[in-house]
C-alpha cells in the first residue's frame, strides 16, 4: 500500500477526452484555433484600451486587466490540454498538477473579484455620476486591480496545500483535462469530509460573496436607471452594463454549478462541459462581447487594426 501511494503521489494521468479517441486530432485543431483566437482577441483588447486616448477611463482600464487575466487564465490549462491531445499521453507529475491547480484557482478568484470591481465601477458611474471622477480616480483603480489579483492568492495556496495533503490510493487517473478539485478528490482515500467542507467554504467565500456584491450593485443600478426620465438615457445606461452582465452570467453560471452541485459520478461528462465554458469559452467570447456591444471599442479597433496590419 505504501508503494502504491508513493507511485500515485509522483504521477497522475489526465484522461481528458480519451473516451473519444477518434476525435483527438479534430479536438487538437479546434482547441488550437480557439487558443490562438483567445490570445489574439484579448491581446487586441489590451493594446486598444492602452493605445486609444478615448479609452483611458476606469471602465476600460478594468477591461484591459480582465482581458490580460483571460490570457493568463486560459494559458494555465489549454497548452497542457493541447500537448496531451498531441502526444495522446496525459501523464502529469504530482508537483505539476499541484502547480496547475494553484494557478488556476488563484486566477479564477482574481476573475471573481475583478468582475465585482467592474460592477462597482458601473454602480458609481450610474448612481453617483457627479462623484465618479473623484471616487474612481487612477490611484483607486490601481488599488482595486491589485487587490483583485492578490486577495485570493493566500486562500487558494492554502486550499491547494490541503487538497494535496490528503492520501491518494488506487487509481491515479483524473477524469478531467486539467487538475481541478472535484475530480482530484475522487481519487482520495480515507475520510475527506473535512476537505470537502473546506472546498465549499472557499467556494462560498471566493465565488458567492463577489457574486452577491455584483447582484447588489446591479439591483441599485437598475433602480437608478428606471428612475431616469428619458428612454434614451435608460437605453444608454443599460448599454454600458450589458457586456459586463453577459460575461458575469457566462462565468458565474458554469463555475457555480460545477463547484456547488452535489458530488456524483454521473456528472463527470457534465463537469467537463461546464469547465469548458468558464476555462475556454468565456475567455473566447469576452473580446467578441465587448467589441460587438460597445461602440467605443469598435471605433478604437477600426483605427487600431489598420495600423497593426501595416507593421
Query: 96-128 burial string, b = 16+ CB within 10 Å, else e?
Result: ebbebbbbbbbbbbbbbbbbbbbbbbbbbbbbe
15 burial via Cβ count (<10 Å: 0-12, 13-18, 19+): middle
**Distance of CA 137 to CAs 35, 140, 241, Å?**
34, 5, 20
Q: What is the pLDDT of residue 7?
A: 40
Q: CA 241, 107, 38, 21 torsion: positive or negative?
A: negative
Neighbouring residues of 16: CB distance < 8 A, sequence distance ≥ 6? 81, 84, 85, 90, 176, 177
For the chain, give the mean pLDDT: 86
d(CA 293, CA 243) in angstroms, rounded, equals 6
Q: Model-level pTM greater than 0.85?
A: yes
- Per-residue pLDDT of 154-187, as tens digits, reads 999 999 999 998 888 878 899 889 998 888 988 8
CA 129 to chain centre: 29
Q: Look-up: residue for cell 492578490?
A: 150
Torsion angle in degrees (nearest 10) through CA of 87, 91, 93, 94: 150
Q: What is the pLDDT of residue 63?
A: 92
Residue 224 pLDDT greater than 70, yes or no: yes
**Better-scored residue on pLDDT, 307 or 223:** 223
What pLDDT band is residue 26 in, cutting at 50, 70 and 90?
very high
Q: What is the DSSP letter of 53?
A: G
Q: In the structure grid, which three cell numbers stand for residue 9, read together? A: 503521489
Q: In the structure grid, which three cell numbers stand for residue 243, read together? A: 457586456
Give me the sheet containing 91-93, strands edge to edge.
91-93, 11-14, 173-174
d(CA 76, CA 179) in angstroms, rounded, equals 10
Q: What is the pLDDT of residue 293?
A: 66
- Cβ contact 287:41 at 8 Å: yes
Q: What is the pLDDT of residue 4?
A: 44
- Per-residue pLDDT of 117-167, as tens digits, reads 999 999 999 999 999 999 999 999 999 999 999 998 999 999 999 999 888
* Lowest mean per-residue pLDDT among 3-12, 23-32, 67-76, 138-147: 3-12
- Per-residue pLDDT of 254-310, as tens digits, reads 777 666 666 555 555 677 777 787 788 889 988 888 776 677 787 887 777 676 665
d(CA 307, CA 260) in angstroms, rounded, equals 46
∠ Cα 47 42 141 (to 5°): 65
What pLDDT band is residue 28 in, cutting at 50, 70 and 90?
very high
- Cβ contact 92:150 at 8 Å: no
d(CA 245, CA 247) in angstroms, rounded, equals 5
Average pLDDT over residues 92-99: 95
Q: In the structure grid, which three cell numbers stand for residue 12, read together? A: 497522475
Q: What is the pLDDT of residue 179?
A: 94
Q: Residue 288: which H helix or E strand, with range?
A: helix 282-292
Share of the chain above pLDDT 90, in %: 49
306 burial via Cβ count (<10 Å: 0-12, 13-18, 19+): exposed
Q: What is the pLDDT of residue 83?
A: 94
Q: Residue 92: which H helix or E strand, with range?
A: strand 91-93
Q: What is the pLDDT of residue 310?
A: 57
Q: What is the pLDDT of residue 240?
A: 79
Residue 91 phi, psi dihedral angles, 5° rounding: -65, 130
- Per-residue pLDDT of 48-68, as tens digits, reads 998 888 889 999 999 999 999
Q: What is the pLDDT of residue 262?
A: 60
Amino acid at each position: 500500500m505504501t508503494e502504491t501511494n508513493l507511485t500515485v503521489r509522483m504521477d497522475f494521468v489526465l484522461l481528458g477526452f480519451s473516451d473519444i479517441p477518434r476525435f483527438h486530432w479534430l479536438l487538437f485543431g479546434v482547441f488550437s484555433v480557439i487558443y490562438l483566437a483567445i490570445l489574439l482577441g484579448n491581446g487586441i483588447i489590451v493594446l486598444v484600451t492602452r493605445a486609444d486616448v478615448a479609452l483611458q477611463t476606469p471602465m476600460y482600464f478594468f477591461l484591459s486587466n480582465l482581458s490580460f487575466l483571460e490570457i493568463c487564465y486560459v494559458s494555465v490549462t489549454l497548452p497542457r490540454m493541447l500537448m496531451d491531445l498531441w502526444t495522446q499521453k496525459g501523464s502529469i507529475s504530482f508537483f505539476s498538477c499541484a502547480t496547475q491547480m494553484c494557478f488556476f484557482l488563484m486566477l479564477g478568484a482574481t476573475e471573481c473579484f475583478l468582475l465585482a470591481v467592474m460592477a462597482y465601477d458601473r454602480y458609481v458611474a450610474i448612481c453617483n455620476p457627479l462623484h465618479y471622477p473623484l471616487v474612481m480616480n487612477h490611484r483607486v483603480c490601481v488599488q482595486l486591480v491589485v487587490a483583485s489579483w492578490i486577495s485570493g492568492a493566500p486562500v487558494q495556496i492554502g486550499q491547494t496545500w490541503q487538497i494535496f495533503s490528503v492520501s491518494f490510493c488506487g487509481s491515479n487517473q483524473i477524469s478531467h483535462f486539467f487538475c481541478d478539485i472535484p475530480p482530484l478528490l475522487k481519487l482520495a482515500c480515507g475520510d475527506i469530509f473535512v476537505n470537502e467542507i473546506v472546498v465549499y467554504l472557499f467556494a462560498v467565500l471566493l465565488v458567492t460573496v463577489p457574486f452577491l456584491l455584483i447582484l447588489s450593485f446591479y439591483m441599485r443600478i437598475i433602480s437608478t436607471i428606471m428612475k431616469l426620465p428619458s428612454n434614451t438615457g435608460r437605453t444608454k445606461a443599460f448599454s454600458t452594463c450589458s457586456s459586463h452582465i453577459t460575461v458575469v452570467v457566462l462565468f458565474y453560471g458554469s463555475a457555480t454549478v460545477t463547484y456547488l452541485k452535489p458530488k456524483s459520478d454521473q456528472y463527470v461528462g457534465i463537469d467537463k462541459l461546464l469547465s469548458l465554458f468558464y476555462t475556454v469559452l468565456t475567455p473566447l467570447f469576452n473580446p467578441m462581447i465587448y467589441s460587438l456591444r460597445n461602440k467605443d471599442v469598435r471605433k478604437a479597433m477600426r483605427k487600431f487594426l489598420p495600423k497593426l496590419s501595416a507593421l
